Structure 1
Amino acid sequence: MCVYNVLIVFAVLCVTKSINCVDWTLNCSTSCHCKWINGKKSALCNALSLTQIPSNLSTEVQVLMLNENNLQTLNREEFTTLGLINLQKIYLKKSNIKYLHRETFKNLKILVELDLSENLIEQLDKQTFSGNDRLRILYLYSNPIKILIADQFPVLPYLRTIDLHNCEISSIDETSFSNIDLLEYLNLKQNSLRTLPGNVFTHMKNLKTLLIDDNPWQCDCKLKKFRNWYVE
């Protein structure tokens, strides 16, 4: 009898697990395609002319692909208000995003990768990524950002990669990256930089790759301190 009861419990658990596995894929926006990719619960919503984040995605989704849409505006807590608190990776490339609320990504505590490249973002509030403490990879390239202000990025202890190439950047404050100590890769190619503060990167002891070519550098005394650090 005991063996029989154990078998029943085991069967119930197996069925329950199977149902749960199916449920998250069925609870998917009609326009998106939900499936497992590289061991992650992923929602593929690329190139669907979406003007807003789908509201009926499973809260279990870990990877959200929204490339090539027409979102234009991302509002406060855009993802957490939809219950998407388990997101680890968000891809928003080429989605015509013009406005990004400073708390768009608030409470996404396990977000590790964010792609906002090739949009129309002109301004980034210094608190835009505040609270995204696990963020490791940030793609912002090909946005007309133009200026990086003081303390542009909040404290992000796990951030290792930032790509800001082709952003029309002409000015970087000496404290723009002061809260990011362990960065390993920074791409500033193809911008409009003529000079840089001499100590802007000196605190980055783990910086392995710094790409700054294809900028109209003005080789004068203002650039000397940075140049000396760069060639060391």
Structure 2
Amino acid sequence: MMGPVLAACLLIILSTAWISQANEALCKKDGGVCSCNNNKNSVDCSSKRLTAIPINIPVDTDRLELHMNKLSSLPGMAFHHLSKLTYLSLDSNQLQTLTPGVFDHLVALDILGLNNNQLQSLPEGVFDKLTKLTRLDLDYNQLKYLPSGVFDNLAKLTRLELQRNQLRSVPNRAFDSLSNIKTLWLDTNPWDCSCKDILYLRDWIDDNKDKVTGAQDAACGDQQSKAVLDITEKDAASDCVSPNTTTAIPTSTTTPASVIYDDIHEIKVPQENFQKFLGYQEPDHLPTQPQCLMSISGYLGLMMSLMLTSAAILYVFHFLKKA
């Protein structure tokens, strides 16, 4: 009966070895692109000109630094295995959009940096699962509007940076759930003080000026000398359409049902899986040499592990059959 026991031990050893190899391939000391501090569960992949997120970040990572790279998009599953993450920096990249649900598994996240990107909008509910978030940096982007309720689940947020965007207004009750906010930056946005929508922001700033630093710096886009806080009902007399208001689709641009039907029959395999393995997000971004080495190393390690695991399983069956 020693055969199955030895085989089981072999399986454990092989699994441990493969996980170790995958983690080591990520780290700079082992030829990877990142620096790892295993004692603190920290992974630093900043300033590496990455066009894709490394695929073998350890599941127990607490701090992940990805700032100052060339990330233009994030796969929907990019962080789904990192539920222990408390710090994530994605600032100073080239992000233009965020995929719905991309942060849904980061239930322990405390700090999220998305500043210095090219974001023009945010998906609805993109932060809904981040109930432990205390700091959110969205400054130095190109945000033109905020979805309704985008901050509703962030009751623990103490710092929110929205300065230097293209915001003209905020949705009604946008900040009402931020009961613990201490710092809110709103300056250097082209706030439209001629629209009634701005009155909510004016009233919110007035109600919170004793505890919020930075909100008072919000100024009207057409007359920077006048603060939003000083706007009167007479100033904001116009009924304006919010930029995120859904409008009817003209019939001339409606997609024919036949085209939709044809598309259903021509569904292509999503390239995300291939791009995730190859180490790049878009076809015109070729992977860097370290990324290729990292992907190949992980692939070879996986193949070797599968081969040895299969051999161990056959070994177990052999002894069971003899028994």
TM-score range, shorter chain: 0.7 to 0.9
Task: For residue 233 of structure 2, give the secondary structure of its aligned residue in structure 1.
Answer: helix
Residue identity over aligned pairs, in percent, reads: 23
State the match for 1:76 in structure 2.
Answer: 76
For residues 56-205 of structure 1, the aligned pairs below 5 Å read: 56-80=56-80, 83-195=81-193, 196=198, 197=200, 198-201=202-205
User: Is the Cα contact below 8 Å between 2:142 and 2:165 reproduced in 1?
Assistant: yes
Q: In structure 2, do the counterparts of structure 1 residues 45 and 191 end up closer, same or farther at CA, with 3 Å as the change threshold? A: same
Question: 1:213 pairs with 203, 212, 217, which one?
Answer: 217
User: Is the Cα contact below 8 Å between 1:77 and 1:106 reproduced in 2?
Assistant: no
Q: In structure 2, do the counterparts of structure 1 residues 133 and 206 end up closer, same or farther at CA, with 3 Å as the change threshold? A: farther
Matches of 1:189 and 1:176, distance apart in 2: 17
Task: For residue 200 of structure 1, give the secondary structure of its aligned residue in structure 2.
Answer: helix
User: Is the Cα contact below 8 Å between 2:160 and 2:184 reproduced in 1?
Assistant: yes
More strand by share: 1
56-65 or 145-154, which deviates more: 145-154
Matches of 2:212 and 2:74, distance apart in 1: 33
Deviations 1:184-209 (A, max 9, x none): 11001111114332433567698331
Unaligned runs of 5+ in 2: 1-15, 237-323
User: Is the Cα contact below 8 Å between 1:116 and 1:140 reproduced in 2?
Assistant: yes
105-114 or 48-57, which deviates more: 48-57
Say if 2:46 is the partner of 1:46.
yes
State the match for 1:14 in structure 2.
Answer: none
Question: In the comparison of the two structures, how many residue pairs are matched?
Answer: 201
Q: In structure 2, do the counterparts of structure 1 residues 183 and 214 end up closer, same or farther at CA, with 3 Å as the change threshold? A: closer
User: Is the Cα contact below 8 Å between 1:109 and 1:132 reproduced in 2?
Assistant: yes
- Kindly indicate whether structure 1 or structure 2 has the higher relative contact order, using CA contacts under 8 Å at least 6 residues apart: 2
Question: 1:31 pairs with 33, 47, 53, which one?
Answer: 33
Could you tell me which amino acid in structure 1 is paired with residue 87 of structure 2? Answer: K
Could you tell me which amino acid in structure 2 is paired with residue 35 of structure 1? Answer: N
Matches of 1:205 and 1:102, distance apart in 2: 33
1:50 is displaced (CA, Å) by: 1.1
More helix by share: 2
Matches of 1:144 and 1:213, distance apart in 2: 19
User: Is the Cα contact below 8 Å between 1:113 and 1:135 reproduced in 2?
Assistant: yes
Largest Rg, 1 or 2: 2
Matches of 1:112 and 1:44, distance apart in 2: 17
Matches of 1:188 and 1:215, distance apart in 2: 9
Deviations 1:37-74 (A, max 9, x none): xx732111111121111111211111111111111111
1:125 is displaced (CA, Å) by: 2.2
Matches of 1:69 and 1:223, distance apart in 2: 47
Task: For residue 64 of structure 1, give the secondary structure of its aligned residue in structure 2.
Answer: strand
Matches of 1:123 and 1:186, distance apart in 2: 19
Structure 1 segments of 4 or more deviating over 4 A? 201-206, 217-220
TM-score, L = length of structure 2:
0.56
157-166 or 200-209, which deviates more: 200-209
Unaligned runs of 5+ in 1: 1-18, 226-232
User: Is the Cα contact below 8 Å between 2:113 and 2:136 reproduced in 1?
Assistant: yes
TM-score, L = length of structure 1:
0.76
1:214 is displaced (CA, Å) by: 6.4
Measured on the aligned residues, the alpha-carbon RMSD in Å equals 2.9
